[in-house]
Amino acid sequence: MEWVTVQTCGLSEAEILKNMLESYGIPAQVTYDSFGRVLGMVSEVPGLTQVQVPQDREAEAREILEAPPAEE
């Protein structure tokens, strides 16, 4: 299975987005620069953490991520 990046952000946001995509039934994973993690830079440094989904679910994932937040 080939994974593609649908979002690059800080670690906390990446984990939230991963969980959201999974709640829609889309497999997702969070990847990060392992060198940065060794240096303790992974915490909230944008650009080091990526949310990835299977290539065949990319369009669906992007649609979910780009949808405006629901109003309360």
pTM over 0.75: yes
Q: How many CB atoms lie within 10 A of CB 29?
A: 14
Q: 60: helix, coil or strand?
A: helix
φ, ψ at 23 (rounded to 5°): -65, -20
Q: Extract the tokens encoding 19.
A: 């969980």
Residues in the chain: 72
The predicted model gives 9-28 an average pLDDT of 95
Count CA atoms closer than 13 A to 53's CA, side-chain side. Answer: 26
* Residue 44 confidence (pLDDT) above 70: no
The predicted model gives 53-71 an average pLDDT of 93
Q: What is the mean pLDDT of the chain?
A: 85
The predicted model gives 6-11 an average pLDDT of 92
The predicted model gives 32-57 an average pLDDT of 70
